[in-house]
């Protein structure tokens, strides 16, 4: 600053009492003037610039308009480079509650929107709009002029101030529209025009008042209409007599103008003694009203609103003439200028251009200051624009600005305290700032320091006290900013924690629901198994119903247990880190401990659910195996194909489970994460289940093979195999063929990838080929037998087929019929049990269909397992229907008495109602087989449809997963890539299933 310049001059101190006495002598009607604490009387130097008239500066060749010429949020550009704009046109709109728009100050073309250095104490750059003038044109884009503004609504007037970009010209550039709304929150009784202009050298307000007093009076009336004060006070220092006279004349003229309504408020000019800083807002309020604005408070808190003359004139121009704020009065002064004066300059004009108007001295400018010598700041360059808050450019000559004196130690003289108008303790603030004890500086109301420089001015030790205060304020602002940022980060963290906890709770609830459903399902299966023990016919139903809990359920429980275990470990780790770090608060630690407790509870719950499901599964398995064995032994035939298939499916599922658990164990061992002991236990359990499944399958296969010769002998001794049996054998051959292909494919995949149990797969291929060979042999034998029978037999069978009731030949034909009758006929109790089995199998199919549809839609779950489950259920249903139909047919063919006695020559059955005489029995038998075939065809068609739907759903799920992966961020990429792999595998399996079903359809 140039305080050293001022301090070189002798100042005189005038007591407040003296000043008050002087003013009281002016007459009884003069308003009373009070005093404020401290203050100084530096040399004024106003005569340098207040003798020349106020003139308009020439239009600049180029203007640079910063988007932040006010306090609050910067404006948002609305123009583009190359766009032509008119004077007064909006080029940047306000954004946010406290902000102001920017308007073009000349007519021209936008040549740049870029960061430029702005006139600020920081010396930093800010975004600016650069406009180059277009010739000599000054084409205006005004708002609507409201000469009769009294007809306008208050809201419209306030909006006009906002639209015109009017901001305070005497301070930090506070938007006037916001100030005009102060009435909404405060009761205002006094409007003050701050015309004190106490800072040395500056005369911009003085010249404004002398040149445009009527505009100021009208501007005050507009503002008064918005805030409704009881009185309007124009506070002006006694060193501006011309301005006082001009204002008083304007007031008298206004009062004499009968065309206008009388003034609502008391309007007075109050002359105050010259003392720096009487132009400070709080100090002027104290001078005029004797009210003290509280620490960190605002003038509105004591019912006062203060405006600057430049601002009031801008209000009047905006309302009455529709002129946005595009210019202002600037004092060009200082000993380095030969023609100091005041100019009305367009905003954005270069300082260098303006200084040239005042004719810089040939010796040059030693220091260029924006503002006055007390509160202004030094500019490093004159290549800067003037903005809405630029009131003075002070150019000092080398002679008038001696080098700053060397700072000396504080001598604790206390002069700074006596000079401080804010009644602070500058010496203490200095110590705290220097020692970086900012909290203590805050405690001593550093925020109330108006940086007037009075303390520095009087300090005999030449200490630049204001510099220390500015430094301390900057540090405090930074700390507060960091604290706010930290607080926001904390809120974000807490919000994230809450969200994660909520999601975890939702997942846990779903897990619990699944666990309960699985327990219910297991209990239902166990009940069905117990009920099925009463009859041999229902044994196969029990075998189907009492299957172990599906592998998908067990898998889900294990996954839930593993997830709960990981969550617990994470929670424990977070708690330990917080406890070790020592930076977390007690409440944070308590929260983390609560998280650990909750995670432990979840783990316990998941483990109990898994245990229950595993037990249910294990208890159901023997029942199924027992039922299967019972069925085989009772009927004396091989285990049904459906049972064998179910056991194979169980073995395959167990094998997959072993592989998965082994893989999970290996991953955990490699990464060092996860509960390795729990995974080892899982592997052991899975292997045990696999061994058991293999043993069950082996036992069932052996039973089937031992029963097969008997069936074959029956076939050999009897007549030719019926057409339906031949078809069944063909289907079995086709299925065996598919199984061979599938096994070969699996073996090839394993060999190519080097993964999987290759010996086991080779054994599977060999096994499948053996089954295929057997199926082909059976089919060949049956075909040969059928051919032989067709050639040799025309009598007895033909007679039976013709429906002869009284055949006389009891030879071969009779034995054929008798051999078939005991096996085919069934008691009514058996038929009832078979019907129940068919209904149960039908329900199982529906459930499996639903589960597959759900999994296909969601893309979650093991589609392959579910498809296998559905196929098994459908096979069971078909088998149940075949058994039922056979039993019903046998019941119809042989009368109960004959079956019970085991007679060789049965009585001919009575014709069924509605049948037509001869051939009715043969017709009945043929119809029953047709029903069976129709049922098979219907089921196959259903399966084909279901698998087709599953393929479409799998395709959709895969597409969806791929789309999600393509848009995924880094955080989710890995997870989504895994999902894409899974959906692709599901799709492949679904397509394979469809191919298999299609082969069966073709074979049919």
CB 278 within 8 A of CB 27: no
| Number of other residues whose CB lies within 10 A of the CB of residue 656 | 17
**Which of 110, 196, 227, 455 contacts ligand SF4 by CB under 6 A?**
455
Q: Residues of 524-555 as b/e, b for ≥16 C-beta within 10 angstroms?
A: ebbebbeebeebbbbbbbbbbbbbbbbbbbbb
In the complex, what is the shortest distance from the CB of residue 468 to ligand SF4, in angstroms, rounded to a whole number?
10
Interface residues for ligand SF4 in 726-745 (CB under 6 A)? none
Interface residues for ligand SF4 in 467-506 (CB under 6 A)? 469
Task: Give the nearer residue to ligand SF4 in terms of CB position, either 343 or 459.
Answer: 459
Q: Which long-range contacts (CB under 8 A, 24 or more apart) does 256-263 make?
A: 261/150, 263/221
Rounded to 5 degrees, φ, ψ at 392 are -155, 145
Q: Which residues have a Cβ under 8 Å from the Cβ of 336 and sit 6 or more positions away? A: 360, 361, 363, 364, 365, 366, 395, 396, 397, 400
Regarding 6 and contact with ligand SF4 (CB under 6 A), the answer is no
Task: Give the nearer residue to ligand SF4 in terms of CB position, either 92 or 198.
Answer: 198
Could you give the C-alpha distances from 450 to 98, 148, 765, 786, in angstroms and in order?
22, 39, 93, 117
Task: Give the nearer residue to ligand SF4 in terms of CB position, either 429 or 976.
Answer: 429
**Which of 91, 466, 817, 841 contacts ligand SF4 by CB under 6 A?**
466
* Cα–Cα distance, 454 to 456 (Å, whole number): 6
Regarding 719 and contact with ligand SF4 (CB under 6 A), the answer is no
CB 507 within 8 A of CB 601: no
Could you give the C-alpha distances from 547 to 528, 619, 633, in angstroms and in order?
11, 9, 19
In the complex, what is the shortest distance from the CB of residue 275 to ligand SF4, in angstroms, rounded to a whole number?
13
Regarding 198 and contact with ligand SF4 (CB under 6 A), the answer is no
Task: Give the nearer residue to ligand SF4 in terms of CB position, either 463 or 539.
Answer: 463
Residues in the chain: 1004
In the complex, what is the shortest distance from the CB of residue 294 to ligand SF4, in angstroms, rounded to a whole number?
16
Rounded to 5 degrees, φ, ψ at 237 are -70, 155
In the complex, what is the shortest distance from the CB of residue 360 to ligand SF4, in angstroms, rounded to a whole number?
31
Interface residues for ligand SF4 in 388-417 (CB under 6 A)? 410-416
**Which of 222, 272, 454, 571 contacts ligand SF4 by CB under 6 A?**
454
In the complex, what is the shortest distance from the CB of residue 276 to ligand SF4, in angstroms, rounded to a whole number?
10
**Which of 209, 233, 387, 450 contacts ligand SF4 by CB under 6 A?**
450
Q: Which range, of 299-307, 453-461, 616-624, 853-861, touches ligand SF4 by CB under 6 A? A: 453-461
**Which of 463, 551, 616, 820 contacts ligand SF4 by CB under 6 A?**
463
Residues binding ligand SF4: what is the number (CB under 6 A)? Answer: 30
CB 103 within 8 A of CB 91: yes
| Number of other residues whose CB lies within 10 A of the CB of residue 223 | 25
| Number of other residues whose CB lies within 10 A of the CB of residue 668 | 18
Q: Are strands 392-396 and 367-370 parallel, antiparallel or unpaired?
A: antiparallel
Task: Give the nearer residue to ligand SF4 in terms of CB position, either 465 or 719.
Answer: 465
**Which of 2, 326, 449, 650 contacts ligand SF4 by CB under 6 A?**
449
Task: Give the nearer residue to ligand SF4 in terms of CB position, either 400 or 462.
Answer: 462
Task: Give the nearer residue to ligand SF4 in terms of CB position, either 472 or 871.
Answer: 472
Q: Are strands 377-379 and 367-370 parallel, antiparallel or unpaired?
A: antiparallel
* Cα–Cα distance, 739 to 744 (Å, whole number): 8
In the complex, what is the shortest distance from the CB of residue 456 to ligand SF4, in angstroms, rounded to a whole number?
7
* Cα–Cα distance, 106 to 156 (Å, whole number): 26
Regarding 375 and contact with ligand SF4 (CB under 6 A), the answer is no
| Number of other residues whose CB lies within 10 A of the CB of residue 114 | 12
Strand boundaries in 238-280, DSSP class E = 266-272
The contact pattern for ligand SF4, residues 418-437, with x = CB under 6 A and - = no contact, is -xxxx-x-xx--x-------
In the complex, what is the shortest distance from the CB of residue 37 to ligand SF4, in angstroms, rounded to a whole number?
10
Task: Give the nearer residue to ligand SF4 in terms of CB position, either 259 or 412.
Answer: 412
Q: Are strands 76-77 and 327-333 parallel, antiparallel or unpaired?
A: unpaired
Regarding 185 and contact with ligand SF4 (CB under 6 A), the answer is no
DSSP string of 694-758, one letter each residue = HHHHHHHHHHHHHHHHHHHHHHHHSSPPPHHHHHHHHHHHHHHHHHHHHHHHHHHHHHHHT-S-H
Whole-angstrom Cα Rg for the chain: 51
Return the DSSP state at 103.
E
In the complex, what is the shortest distance from the CB of residue 6 to ligand SF4, in angstroms, rounded to a whole number?
14
Regarding 11 and contact with ligand SF4 (CB under 6 A), the answer is no
Sign of the CA dihedral running 418, 423, 425, 427: negative
**Which of 461, 521, 915, 939 contacts ligand SF4 by CB under 6 A?**
461
Q: Which range, of 250-258, 281-289, 449-457, 818-826, touches ligand SF4 by CB under 6 A? A: 449-457
Q: Which range, of 206-214, 460-468, 666-674, 795-803, touches ligand SF4 by CB under 6 A? A: 460-468
Task: Give the nearer residue to ligand SF4 in terms of CB position, either 455 or 720.
Answer: 455
Task: Give the nearer residue to ligand SF4 in terms of CB position, either 222 or 450.
Answer: 450
CB 421 within 8 A of CB 280: yes
Residue of 295, 306, 293, 301 lying closest to 448 (CA atoms): 295
In the complex, what is the shortest distance from the CB of residue 405 to ligand SF4, in angstroms, rounded to a whole number?
12
Task: Give the nearer residue to ligand SF4 in terms of CB position, either 416 or 951.
Answer: 416
CB 325 within 8 A of CB 314: yes
Q: Which range, of 181-189, 446-454, 517-525, 954-962, touches ligand SF4 by CB under 6 A? A: 446-454
Task: Give the nearer residue to ligand SF4 in terms of CB position, either 358 or 463.
Answer: 463
**Which of 459, 734, 775, 826 contacts ligand SF4 by CB under 6 A?**
459
Question: Which chain residues interact with ligand SF4 by CB under 6 A?
Answer: 410-416, 419-422, 424, 426-427, 430, 449-455, 458-461, 463, 465-466, 469
């Amino acid at each position: 600053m140039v305080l050293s310049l001022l301090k070189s001059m002798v100042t005189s101190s005038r007591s407040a009492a003296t000043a008050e006495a002087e003013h009281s002598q002016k007459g009884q009607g003069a308003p009373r003037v009070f005093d404020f604490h401290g203050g100084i009387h530096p040399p004024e130097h106003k005569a340098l610039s207040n003798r020349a008239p106020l003139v308009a500066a020439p239009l600049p060749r180029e203007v640079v308009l910063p988007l932040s010429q006010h306090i609050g949020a910067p404006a948002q550009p609305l123009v583009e480079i190359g766009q032509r704009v008119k004077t007064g046109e909006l080029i940047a709109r306000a954004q946010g509650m406290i902000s102001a728009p920017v308007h073009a100050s000349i007519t021209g073309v936008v040549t740049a929107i870029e960061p430029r250095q702005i006139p600020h104490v920081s010396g930093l750059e800010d975004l600016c709009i650069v406009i180059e003038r277009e010739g000599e044109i000054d084409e205006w884009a005004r708002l609507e002029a409201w000469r009769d503004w009294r007809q306008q609504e208050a809201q419209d007037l306030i909006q006009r101030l906002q639209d015109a970009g009017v901001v305070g010209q005497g301070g930090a550039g506070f938007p006037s529209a916001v100030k005009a709304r102060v009435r909404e929150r405060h009761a205002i009784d006094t409007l003050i025009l701050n015309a004190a202009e106490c800072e040395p050298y500056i005369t911009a307000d003085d010249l404004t008042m002398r040149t445009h007093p009527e505009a100021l009076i009208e501007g005050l009336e507009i503002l008064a209409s918005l805030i409704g004060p009881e009185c309007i006070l124009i506070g002006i220092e006694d060193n501006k007599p011309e301005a006082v006279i001009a204002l008083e004349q304007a007031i008298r003229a206004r009062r004499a103008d009968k065309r206008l309504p009388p003034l609502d408020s008391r309007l007075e000019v109050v002359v105050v003694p010259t003392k720096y800083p009487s132009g400070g807002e709080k100090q002027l309020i104290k001078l005029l009203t004797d009210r003290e604005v509280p620490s960190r408070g605002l003038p509105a808190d004591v019912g006062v609103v203060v405006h600057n003359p430049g601002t009031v004139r801008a209000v009047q121009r905006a309302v009455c003439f529709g002129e946005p704020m595009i210019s202002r009065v600037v004092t060009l002064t200082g000993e380095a200028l030969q023609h100091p004066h005041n100019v009305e300059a367009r905003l954005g004009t270069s300082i260098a251009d303006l200084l040239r108007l005042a004719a810089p001295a040939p010796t040059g400018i030693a220091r260029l200051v924006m503002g006055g010598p007390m509160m202004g700041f030094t500019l490093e360059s004159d290549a800067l624009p003037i903005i809405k808050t630029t009131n003075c450019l002070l150019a000092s000559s080398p002679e008038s600005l001696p080098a700053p004196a060397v700072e000396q130690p504080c001598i604790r003289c206390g002069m700074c305290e006596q000079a401080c108008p804010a009644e602070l303790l500058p010496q203490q603030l200095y110590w705290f700032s220097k020692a970086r004890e900012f909290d203590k500086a805050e405690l001593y109301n550093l925020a109330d320091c108006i940086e007037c420089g009075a303390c520095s001015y009087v300090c005999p030790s030449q200490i630049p006290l204001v510099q220390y205060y500015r430094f301390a304020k900057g540090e405090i602002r930074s700390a507060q900013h960091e604290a706010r940022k930290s607080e926001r980060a904390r809120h974000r963290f807490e919000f994230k924690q809450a969200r994660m906890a909520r999601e975890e709770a939702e997942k846990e609830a779903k897990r619990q629901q699944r666990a309960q459903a699985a327990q219910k399902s297991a209990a239902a299966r166990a009940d069905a198994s117990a009920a099925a023990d009463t009859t041999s016919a229902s044994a196969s139903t029990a075998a189907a119903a009492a299957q172990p809990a599906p592998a998908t359920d067990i898998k889900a429980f294990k996954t839930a247990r593993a997830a709960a275990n990981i969550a617990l470990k994470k929670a424990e780790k977070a708690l330990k880190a917080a406890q070790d770090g020592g930076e977390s608060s007690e409440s944070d630690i308590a929260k983390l401990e609560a998280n650990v407790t909750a995670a432990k509870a979840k783990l316990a719950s998941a483990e109990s659910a898994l245990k229950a499901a595993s037990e249910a599964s294990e208890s159901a398995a023997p029942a199924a195996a027992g039922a299967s064995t019972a069925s085989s032994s009772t009927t004396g035939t091989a285990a049904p194909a459906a049972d064998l298939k179910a056991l194979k499916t169980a073995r395959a599922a167990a094998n997959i489970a072993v592989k998965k658990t082994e893989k999970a164990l290996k991953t955990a061992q490699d990464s060092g994460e996860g509960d390795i002991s729990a995974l080892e236990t899982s592997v052991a359990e899975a292997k045990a289940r696999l061994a058991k499944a293999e043993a069950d399958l082996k036992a069932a296969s052996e039973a089937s093979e031992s029963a097969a010769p008997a069936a074959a002998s029956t076939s050999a001794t009897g007549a030719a195999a019926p057409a339906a049996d031949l078809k069944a054998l063909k289907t079995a051959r086709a299925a065996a063929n598919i199984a061979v292909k599938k096994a070969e494919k699996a073996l090839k995949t394993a060999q190519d990838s080097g993964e999987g149990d290759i010996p086991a797969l080779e054994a599977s291929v060999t096994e499948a080929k053996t089954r295929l060979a057997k199926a082909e042999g059976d089919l060949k034998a049956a075909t040969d037998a059928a051919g032989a029978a067709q050639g040799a037999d025309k009598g007895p069978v033909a007679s039976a087929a013709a429906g002869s009731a009284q055949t006389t030949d009891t030879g071969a034909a009779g034995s054929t019929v008798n051999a078939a009758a005991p096996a085919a006929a069934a008691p009514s109790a058996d038929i009832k049990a078979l019907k129940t089995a068919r209904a149960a199998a039908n329900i199982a199919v529906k459930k499996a269909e639903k589960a597959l549809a759900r999994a296909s839609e969601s893309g979650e779950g093991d589609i392959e397992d579910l498809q296998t489950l559905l196929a098994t259920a459908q096979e069971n249903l078909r088998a149940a229907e075949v058994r039922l139909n056979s039993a019903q047919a046998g019941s119809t063919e042989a009368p109960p008495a004959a079956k019970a006695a085991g007679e060789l020559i049965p009585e001919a059955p009575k014709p069924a109602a509605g049948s037509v005489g001869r051939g009715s029995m043969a017709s009945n038998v043929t119809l029953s087989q047709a029903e069976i075939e129709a049922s098979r065809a219907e089921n196959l068609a259903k399966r084909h449809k279901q698998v087709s739907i599953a393929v479409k759903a799998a395709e959709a799920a895969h597409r969806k997963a791929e789309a999600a992966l393509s848009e995924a961020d880094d955080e989710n990429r890995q997870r989504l890539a895994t999902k894409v792999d899974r959906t692709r595998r599901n799709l492949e399996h679904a397509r394979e299933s469809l191919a298999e079903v299609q082969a069966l359809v073709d074979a049919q």
